[in-house]
């Protein structure tokens, strides 16, 4: 893929990435030689039918899975050479995740949910609480900080999930169908929030989506077909 390097240095570079599951007649090639470069500050939507490889691609980007072959460089570091603990540290310090199902702790307040990644980092209570409140303010939910997920709408729960993802100030946000459980109005609110974070904070966002209307919020779009990238487009914004 050809991208204008003047738009920002590459945060991620994938070269000839493959992913194969199973052996023998049960072999399934999920990715078949992916080449892509993602610049700092990009907002990319990933589209494709079920089984096209887009979720596998996102899992590899997030260090949740390892490629079978190929090169994955993150901020110049060859990720495929890292051990399990090093990949966990990379996830903890540089990558934020947002999922379709929110993945919030049911009996825990919004504030405590957002604090969770900071607990794993070992931050003291006062510091992590201040950072969590700041993150909730960034998504417009500071006044809801003491409410549990059951007391929040679906859109509000996803905002809490986004606050949790950005509280560590990651280099990249990986969003897997972030509007999949929301109605149109709430979906637009979430996409406008993601666009704001990308524009104002220069947060790099990679988003998997089935919805063309949501993909239009991204700066660029990549289409997966049968484990390969078949199309890339860059929107003018």
Q: What is the pLDDT of residues 58-78, one digit of tens each?
A: 999 999 999 999 999 999 999
Going by pLDDT thresholds of 50, 70 and 90, the confidence category of residue 25 is: confident
All residues at 6 or more sequence positions from 210 whose CB lies less than 8 Å from its CB, including other chains: 47, 177, 180
- How does the average pLDDT of the chain come out, rounded? 92
Pairing of strands 43-48, 204-208: parallel
For 191-218, what is each residue's pLDDT tens digit?
999 999 999 999 999 999 999 999 999 9
Structural domains of the chain, ranges and CATH numbers in brackets: 5-234 (3.40.50.300)
The answer, yes or no, to whether residue 150 has pLDDT greater than 80, is yes
Q: Is 184 exposed, middle or buried (0-12, 13-18, 19+ CB in 10 A)?
A: exposed
Report the pLDDT value the prediction gives residue 234, as an integer from 0 to 100: 60
Quote the percentage of the chain above a pLDDT of 90. 87
Report the pLDDT value the prediction gives residue 16, as an integer from 0 to 100: 97
Quote the percentage of the chain above a pLDDT of 70. 95
The answer, yes or no, to whether residue 3 has pLDDT greater than 60, is no
Q: Which of 4-18, 97-111, 158-172 has the lowest mean pLDDT?
A: 4-18
Q: How many residues does the chain have?
A: 237
Does pTM surpass 0.85?
Answer: yes
The answer, yes or no, to whether residue 54 has pLDDT greater than 50, is yes
Question: Is the Cβ–Cβ distance between 20 and 29 less than 8 Å?
Answer: yes
Within 10 angstroms of residue 81's Cβ, the number of other Cβ atoms is 9
Going by pLDDT thresholds of 50, 70 and 90, the confidence category of residue 53 is: very high
Question: Is the Cβ–Cβ distance between 43 and 219 less than 8 Å?
Answer: yes
Report the pLDDT value the prediction gives residue 4, as an integer from 0 to 100: 42
Tell me the C-alpha distance between 112 and 175, whole Å.
21
Q: Is 85 exposed, middle or buried (0-12, 13-18, 19+ CB in 10 A)?
A: exposed
Mean pLDDT value of segment 10-15? 95
Mean pLDDT value of segment 16-31? 92
């Amino acid at each position: 893929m050809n991208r204008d390097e003047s738009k920002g240095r590459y945060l991620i570079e994938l070269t000839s990435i493959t992913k194969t599951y199973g052996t023998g007649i049960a072999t399934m090639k999920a990715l078949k030689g992916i080449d892509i470069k993602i610049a700092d500050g990009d907002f990319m939507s990933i589209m494709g039918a079920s089984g096209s490889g887009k979720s596998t691609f996102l899992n590899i980007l997030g260090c949740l899975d390892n490629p079978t072959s190929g090169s994955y460089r993150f901020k110049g570091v060859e990720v495929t050479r890292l051990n399990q603990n090093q990949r966990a540290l990379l996830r903890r310090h540089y990558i934020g995740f947002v999922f379709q199902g929110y993945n919030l702790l049911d009996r825990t307040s919004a504030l405590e949910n957002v604090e969770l990644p900071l607990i794993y980092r070992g931050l003291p209570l006062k510091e992590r609480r201040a950072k969590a409140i700041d993150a909730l303010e960034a998504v417009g939910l500071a006044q809801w900080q003491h409410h549990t997920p059951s007391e929040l709408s679906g859109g509000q729960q996803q905002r809490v999930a986004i606050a949790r993802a950005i509280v560590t100030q990651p280099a990249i946000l990986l969003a897997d169908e972030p509007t999949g459980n929301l109605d149109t109005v709430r979906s637009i609110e979430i996409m406008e929030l993601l666009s704001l974070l990308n524009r104002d904070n220069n947060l790099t966002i990679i988003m998997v989506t089935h919805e063309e209307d949501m993909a239009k919020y991204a700066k660029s779009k990549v289409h997966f077909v049968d484990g390969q990238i078949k199309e890339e487009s860059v929107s003018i914004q």
